[in-house]
Homo-oligomer: A and B are copies of this chain.
Amino acid sequence: MILRDPVHGLISFEGPAESIISRLLDTRELQRLRRVRCLGPASLAFPGAEHTRFAHAVGSAHVMKRYLDRVYALSDDLPAADQVDHDTAQVALAAALLHDLGHGPYSHAFEAVLPHPFKHEDWTSRLILDPDSEVHAVLRQIDSEAPGRVERLVHGEGDIPHLARAVSGTFDVDRCDYLLRDSHMTGVRYGVLDLDWLLQSMRLMVAPGEQRARMAVDGEKGLTAVEGFFLGRLYMYRQVYLHKAVRAAESVMRALFRRLDELGPQPGTPAGMAKLLVGQEPTMGEFLDLDDHAFEQALKAYCTSTDPILAELAGRMRYRRLFKTLRLRHDVPVARAMARLREVLDTHHDGPDYLAAVDRVEVAAYYEDSRMMAYTGGRLQRLLDVSPVLHGLSNETFVHYRLIFPPELRAVIKEAFVDLR
């Protein structure tokens, strides 16, 4: 199995352990990911960002294959318990491929705006463990334990710590692929990381007094690549994930779901979404029917709703009539901004107050993760202690702080907030 990928170039799964990939790709659970875009509403701001969870799943499995190649190259110095055998390789490749199986329409945006809790990780587990799913059936062909092993690995758990971290950790195959893919597809090149060099400078080292290997980076050769990896994440947050148009679109989505919650059942709502809106659990079939297309067809139906607010919000999504934003000074208390906003809305707006919002997000510039070390000067050290860049970042926070509001309020908002921006 060989395919072309815009991010990784030539991808081939031809080794014996890799045959699991093509069997999993043919399942309906994975085929559903063709209809779930990675970045949800971001394509409203970045016309190229139409890439799907399916392509990301394939890319993640490819990075896992390369990770395993590196593990084999390092295996001479690896404790027996940390070695990867044939079955474990299959499990690891499957976990990389399936790690996002449970995403709803528009990926992260969906769970961010649903009025009731929804965690895509739970649905990933359910789809892997449910004996009626097609992926479960394929995984059982490895052995009866395989579905459980894959499910645990997806959540960063398993017998081999370094492998669990490679599936879900600070430096994992998921992030390696999504930073590259989101960069390539949005045209924001800041997330491009140096995968070749990251893998080449990766070590698996047993710290003194320990039995099991940790991931480490060669502090002489790989530090810049690792810093680039963390900076890439940061930049993609700033440039893409928290882009003002993306946040504005999520704000419209949130208002729409809140309106649906207020109104009760509405025509055109897919069955699975109807259940999620009232905090019930969809059936697996209902969940599998829930994808970007189902959601957008619902939006189309809402455009002709008898409720003018629902119709307006749906039209904003469908025809990209997004809310506007205004940046606020970082030192303005959120409560004060909200009070001010409420005054404006009370005076100038006759719609529900949730049509405008105060949006404040803080992203820590760098978190140290003790399971990702630097190997330098003959010993394992904290990344913080060997990298001035990460040390500098570790005290910094990125603040995105904005008002989000309908365009017709622009003038009054600008005037009302003149001292807070």
- List the interface of chain A (C-beta within 8 A of B): 2-7, 9-10, 12, 26, 28, 31, 34-35, 37, 43, 45-48, 50-52, 54-55, 58, 184-190, 194, 196-197, 200, 220-221, 223-224, 227-228, 231, 234-235, 238-239, 289, 292-294, 296-297, 300, 318-321, 327, 329, 365, 376-378, 388-389, 391-398, 421
Contacts and interface: CB of A to CB of B under 8 A. Distances in A.
Given A10-B197, A293-B296, A294-B297, A319 B31 contact: yes
Nearest to A376: B327
Contacts of A58: 47
A48 B200 contact: no
A54 B320 CA distance: 12
Given A3-B47, A50-B50, A231-B231, 6 more contacts: A5-B47, A6-B48, A6-B185, A31-B320, A47-B52, A293-B296
Given A26-B321, A28-B319, A50-B50, A4 B186 contact: yes
Contact of A196 (B9, B196, B391, B396): B9
B396 A388 contact: yes
Contacts of A47: 3, 5, 34, 52, 54-55, 58
A34 B365 CA distance: 34
Given A34-B43, A388-B396, A389-B365, A51 B54 contact: no
Contact of A396 (B52, B329, B391): B391
A364 to B, nearest CB: 10
B388 A9 contact: no
A292 B292 CA distance: 11
A395 B392 CA distance: 7
A43 B43 CA distance: 18
Nearest to A386: B330
Number of copies of this chain that the complex holds: 4
Given A293-B297, A389-B393, A5 B48 contact: yes
Nearest to A200: B10
A227 to B, nearest CB: 8
A340 to B, nearest CB: 17
Contacts of A186: 4, 6
A227 B34 CA distance: 33
A119 B55 CA distance: 31
Contacts of A2: 200, 221
Contacts of A397: 388
B200 A194 contact: no
A31 B318 contact: yes
Contacts of A26: 319-321
A51 B52 CA distance: 10
A55 B194 CA distance: 22
Contacts of A377: 327, 329, 421
16 contacts: A4-B188, A6-B185, A6-B186, A9-B187, A9-B196, A10-B200, A26-B319, A47-B52, A48-B55, A224-B238, A292-B293, A293-B297, A294-B297, A327-B376, A388-B397, A392-B394
A4 B398 CA distance: 22
Top 10 nearest A-B pairs by Cβ distance? A392-B392, A388-B396, A4-B187, A47-B55, A6-B48, A293-B293, A6-B187, A50-B50, A392-B396, A10-B196
A294 to B, nearest CB: 7
